[in-house]
Structure 1
Amino acid sequence: MKPMIKSPLQIARASYQPKLPTALKGNVVLKEGAATESVADQADIKTLFPNTYGMPLISFEAGVKKEYPAVAAGVILSGGQAPGGHNVICGLFDGLKALNPNNKLYGFLAGPSGLVDHNYIELTKEIVDEYRNTGGFDIIGSGRTKLEEEWQYDKGTEICKKLGINAIVIIGGDDSNTNACVLAEYYSQKKTGIQVIGCPKTIDGDLKNEMIETSFGFDTACKVYSELIGNIQRDANSAKKYWHFIRLMGRSASHITLECALQSQPNICIVSEEVEAKNQTLNDVVDDIIKVIVHRAEHGLNFGTILIPEGLIEFIPAVKKLISELNDLLAHNEDFNALNTDEEKRQYVKGMLSPVSAEVYRSLPKGIAKQLTLDRDPHGNVQVSLIETEKLLIEMVAKRLAQLKAEGSYKGKFSALNHFFGYEGRCAIPSNFDADYTYSLGYTASVLISEGKTGYMSSVRNLTAPAAEWIAGGVPITMMMNMEKRHGKMKPVIQKALVQLDGAPFQYFAKHRESWGDEKSSYIYPGPIQYYGPTEVCDQPTRTLLLEQEK
């Protein structure tokens, strides 16, 4: 085999030893807390998950040495990539081997489909060592297959029995961990002896609660995007001639956009949750942008930066109602799918919508309206990442500024450039924070497995403290669940965490944004992620976490 060529940074990172909470450095004892209940719809969730509902919170403390029987575990990377996924597997592998050298770890290839299709490899030290502290999910690959059918669960049972696998670890976001919860319940009901543990992954940052302070990958991705935004702001401040409309990943929540604003201090930042709370229209959003552009133009500043969350269009109340109707209307709609032309589809949709939504649909540019009726994502929702909201806003802003110029109330020059930052951050080499956090999550999962737990998500908390003071343990996945409509039916899912408008991160932003938008430059230039140097440069968590924990 041809040897892999590595960069100097890759070689250096291979020798980095992630930090662990003190409780995980030696012998561990489990402390159980009070029984839990779901975040909402308690009766429905309890009925659907009779075997895994109401389990206690678990925390780890230093304890006496304990002998664990040998186990075999399988691991699955599910959904989109996030920095640190490899270190979850490394921590899981190291933890299993530390608890019993005879433990084995198998990786199911290409996501959940690997479990169903019996596509796997045994993860050895030689394989795992090649991926320590690296970005990406390429050690075993990922996929978006949903585990929803009993025949899929049964196929998983077959391969687990064949390989002697006692537990499956699913590394994913809210939907993937919802699948983990369903799988754990099914295997408990069928008494298969197969445990299921989840790990919280998503750069979007919307898998969080009091026990999951942040999802892994969020820190690294936001630092990557903030570097790019800072670079653009330095260029804008130098060239002094472009307005940069920057759309950032985050379909269901604006955590990435808000965090990047806190790190870079752009002239304008739109937070979807605020737009919805204020019941704003698309024109209202444009008016807010216009005010800042006109104000800066009055001081000769015809440039700036605007951050736009990917999911903005879904949070505009009138459009949100339209999308909800479209999701229900187009779910498994054979009549619609049989239509040949865009115009036929457009007329069909207009005829089926409520009068209010039909009016909103007619008011949208045809390109945007078409994007709302394209193929749905695996969860039956509009693929908002395909909607180029930044281009829509540029078009609307330019049109409005032209009207103001004709009226004599705007004398500036408007030239705009559009950007979308998403994939640039998903497989970056993880920051020290994410490298440590993910390794701890994987190590925590190994203890939960060895202690016979199922239906839990690996949890590491107190994340603004030094890693030695982090608190490791487990959270029942049912604790995070509620009922939501998917594909036109009510289903149990993990509740997404949106930006809290009364929370410290947004309140800090709201207090300072007016000054960021005025004629005085407030730009911050974060620069690239640093891995070696003073801890205040290399090991800091996100501004969101620091503000939430009043640091």
Structure 2
Amino acid sequence: MEKSALQKARIDYAPKLPTSLQGSVKVKEGAPTQSVDDQEDIKKLFPNTYGMPVVEFEPSNETQTCEMNVGVILSGGQAPGGHNVITGLFDTIKRLNPNNKLYGFILGPGGLVDHKYIEITEDYINDYRNTGGFDMIGSGRTKLEKIEQFEKGLEIVRELNIKALVIIGGDDSNTNACVLAEYYAAKKYGVQVIGCPKTIDGDLKNDQIETSFGFDTATKTYSELIGNIERDCNSSKKYWHFIKLMGRSASHIALECALQCQPNICIISEEVKAKNMTLNQIVENICNVIAYRAEQGLNFGVILIPEGLIEFIPSIGKLIEELNDLLAAHGNDYKGLDEEAQREYILAHLSEENKQTFATLPANVARQLSLDRDPHGNVQVSLIETERLLSDMCDAKLEQWKEEGKYKGKFACLHHFFGYEGRCAAPSNYDTNYCYALGTSAAQLIANGKTGYMAIIKNTTKPTNEWRAGGVPITMMMNMERRNGEMKPVIRKALVELDGKPFKAFEKIRDKWARETSFIYPGPIQYWGPSEVCDCTTKTLELEQE
């Protein structure tokens, strides 16, 4: 494999570990836990893995050894640092016993079911240390939810003498890990299942999980690109840039990038929902800023838009809920129809309120909302060009204002969608260390007999040696939600908290950003240099941990 100079240098970087993970460990257990909501329902569904305590690792003087082969799976979208979770896992199980083996299942959970795997060796893994991407073993979006899948996976687990599976994924993937852990525990198969919190979206976090890995690197990568656009924007002074940012169900990425770059406008989906805003109100708010800046002779600016915005507009959110149920119950009735017939079918089956909303949407947006869902039952919002929808609506409104004498500026716009640009970036120092520690923690959870747990690292705004490592029962983070027309146990997504410090900091200053050109140009991710530059955390985490 050919390597760049940066990749060679990054491979030589030695990730730092918390003091508690640098040698042998002992387990400190907390009090029994319960799920965040729907306690009776979750307890009934997970009787063997419910109520377990949060655990924390402490240094031990006793020599620690453990025989165990481990399987690892990368699940869902890529996130910077995934390779380091695997290297931390590999190094730890080899330290516990050099004969231990690590097997990687190819292309995600489907590799477990289809028995596609490789043994990860020292020579093989060394090419991937501290690198971005998931190309070491690939990823996939197969859902592990059926008994046939569990039993088929068990066949290869038995054949390879695997003691535990580590599933590296987001909230849906870790929900699947919890279901698998419960099944194997109920059957007394003796196979442990451990999860690791991954998603650049930042919505897998709670009191126990400070941040999901990849969020730090991805937001720094996007902020570099946004800063470059801001500088270009401030140089040519003639375009409004509408930038959509990845983040399907929450606006954490958009908020973090706004705090780093200070754009003129950043829409926060959660605020739109809380204020019961319509699409027209959002457009009018944007146009007011464009018109104000035009009066100052500033016919340019930058607008950040979260990918999942469309779902958070209350009227459209209600429509999507009914469409989800309709597609789950009657999807096969209209799949064979042509596009116009599908539209008529949907209109005939919607409630009056949602029918009106559906009828007023642009045809391409309505079409996207009525297409098949992703494997987890979600609208594929990344396919909806929200940035173009908003700019077209702004253009129309500004033309109307011009005719009415309310606007005399010039409006030209450019569109961007930053998603894949950040998912496989070389991990920042923070994600490099964080992920290596997560992999080490996962190995220690296995060695200490745990199953149905997610590896966690806390106190991460402090120096690395002061970080705290341990595990949290996955059931503790679960509640019941409607998916594909049925109530299902899922990990509750963490949305932007409107009374949280990051949003409050943004809210306090955003009007100034709207009126003035306050752009900040963060520049590239720093790997070397002064610690205050290359080892800083996200603004979000810094504010939350104050």
- 1:243 alignment partner, one of 236, 240, 243: 240
Report what 1:486 is aligned to: 483
Are 1:292 and 2:292 matched, yes or no?
A: no
- 2:359 alignment partner, one of 357, 362, 367: 362
Alignment of 1:221-240 (within 5 A): 221-240=218-237
Kindly provide the CA deviation profile for residues 20-53 of structure 1, in whole angstroms up to 9, marking residues without a partner as x.
Answer: 0011111211100011000000000000000100
User: Comparing 35-44 with 365-374, which one deviates more in the overlay?
Assistant: 365-374
- Answer yes or no: is the 8 Å Cα contact 2:246–2:419 preserved in 1: yes
Kindly provide the CA deviation profile for residues 438-463 of structure 1, in whole angstroms up to 9, marking residues without a partner as x.
Answer: 00000000101111110000000001
**CA distance change for structure 1 residues 339 and 113 in 2, over 3 Å: closer, same or farther?**
closer
User: Comparing 61-70 with 121-130, which one deviates more in the overlay?
Assistant: 61-70
Cα distance, 1:334 vs. partner? 4.6
Cα distance, 1:339 vs. partner? 3.7
- Answer yes or no: is the 8 Å Cα contact 2:335–2:342 preserved in 1: no
- 1:157 alignment partner, one of 154, 165, 172: 154
Q: Hey, what's the Cα distance between the residues in 1 that align with 2:532 and 2:154? A: 47
Kindly provide the CA deviation profile for residues 482-531 of structure 1, in whole angstroms up to 9, marking residues without a partner as x.
Answer: 0001111101000000000000000000000000111x321100001111
Q: Hey, what's the Cα distance between the residues in 2 that align with 1:301 and 1:101? A: 65
Unaligned regions of 5+ residues in structure 2, if any? none
Are 1:524 and 2:520 matched, yes or no?
A: yes
Report what 2:530 is aligned to: 534
Cα distance, 1:131 vs. partner? 0.2
Give the aligned residue type for 1:377: D
SS at 2:165's partner residue? strand
Q: Hey, what's the Cα distance between the residues in 2 that align with 1:196 and 1:101? A: 22
Are 1:549 and 2:535 matched, yes or no?
A: no
Cα distance, 1:210 vs. partner? 0.9
Are 1:444 and 2:441 matched, yes or no?
A: yes
Cα distance, 1:340 vs. partner? 2.8
Give the aligned residue type for 2:76: G
Give the aligned residue type for 2:289: V
- 2:383 alignment partner, one of 371, 381, 386: 386
Give the aligned residue type for 2:112: L
Q: Hey, what's the Cα distance between the residues in 2 that align with 1:339 and 1:315? A: 30
Kindly provide the CA deviation profile for residues 391-428 of structure 1, in whole angstroms up to 9, marking residues without a partner as x.
Answer: 00011000000011111111100001010000000000
Are 1:431 and 2:428 matched, yes or no?
A: yes
Q: Hey, what's the Cα distance between the residues in 2 that align with 1:220 and 1:30? A: 31
Q: Hey, what's the Cα distance between the residues in 2 that align with 1:83 and 1:342? A: 39
- Answer yes or no: is the 8 Å Cα contact 2:334–2:345 preserved in 1: no
Are 1:257 and 2:247 matched, yes or no?
A: no
Q: Hey, what's the Cα distance between the residues in 1 that align with 2:150 and 2:321? A: 30
Cα distance, 1:100 vs. partner? 1.7
Report what 1:414 is aligned to: 411
User: TM-score, normalised to structure 1's length?
Assistant: 0.98
- 2:130 alignment partner, one of 130, 133, 139: 133
Are 1:461 and 2:458 matched, yes or no?
A: yes
Give the aligned residue type for 1:522: S
What RMSD, in angstroms, separates the aligned Cα atoms of the two structures? 0.8
Q: Which runs of 4+ in 1 moved over 3 A?
A: 334-339
Q: Hey, what's the Cα distance between the residues in 2 that align with 1:201 and 1:440? A: 13
Report what 2:317 is aligned to: 320
Kindly provide the CA deviation profile for residues 87-137 of structure 1, in whole angstroms up to 9, marking residues without a partner as x.
Answer: 000000011111222211110111001111111111100111110000000
Are 1:279 and 2:276 matched, yes or no?
A: yes
Q: Hey, what's the Cα distance between the residues in 1 that align with 2:376 and 2:205? A: 20
Cα distance, 1:335 vs. partner? 4.6
Cα distance, 1:332 vs. partner? 5.3
Cα distance, 1:336 vs. partner? 3.8
Q: Hey, what's the Cα distance between the residues in 1 that align with 2:231 and 2:327? A: 45
User: Comparing 369-378 with 501-510, which one deviates more in the overlay?
Assistant: 369-378
Are 1:218 and 2:215 matched, yes or no?
A: yes
Kindly provide the CA deviation profile for residues 35-82 of structure 1, in whole angstroms up to 9, marking residues without a partner as x.
Answer: 100000000000000010000010011112234331100000000000
Count of paired positions: 546
SS at 1:392's partner residue? helix
Q: Hey, what's the Cα distance between the residues in 1 that align with 2:255 and 2:381? A: 18
Instruction: Name the % identity.
Output: 67
SS at 1:358's partner residue? helix
Q: Hey, what's the Cα distance between the residues in 2 that align with 1:66 and 1:451? A: 14
Cα distance, 1:376 vs. partner? 1.1
Report what 1:348 is aligned to: 345
**CA distance change for structure 1 residues 405 and 478 in 2, over 3 Å: closer, same or farther?**
same
Unaligned regions of 5+ residues in structure 1, if any? none
User: Comparing 250-259 with 380-389, which one deviates more in the overlay?
Assistant: 380-389
- Answer yes or no: is the 8 Å Cα contact 1:330–1:336 preserved in 2: no
Q: Hey, what's the Cα distance between the residues in 2 that align with 1:244 and 1:302? A: 11
Q: Hey, what's the Cα distance between the residues in 1 that align with 2:448 and 2:60? A: 14
SS at 1:166's partner residue? strand
Give the aligned residue type for 1:507: K
User: TM-score, normalised to structure 2's length?
Assistant: 0.99
- 1:99 alignment partner, one of 96, 102, 106: 96
Cα distance, 1:331 vs. partner? 1.5
Q: Hey, what's the Cα distance between the residues in 2 that align with 1:469 and 1:6? A: 33
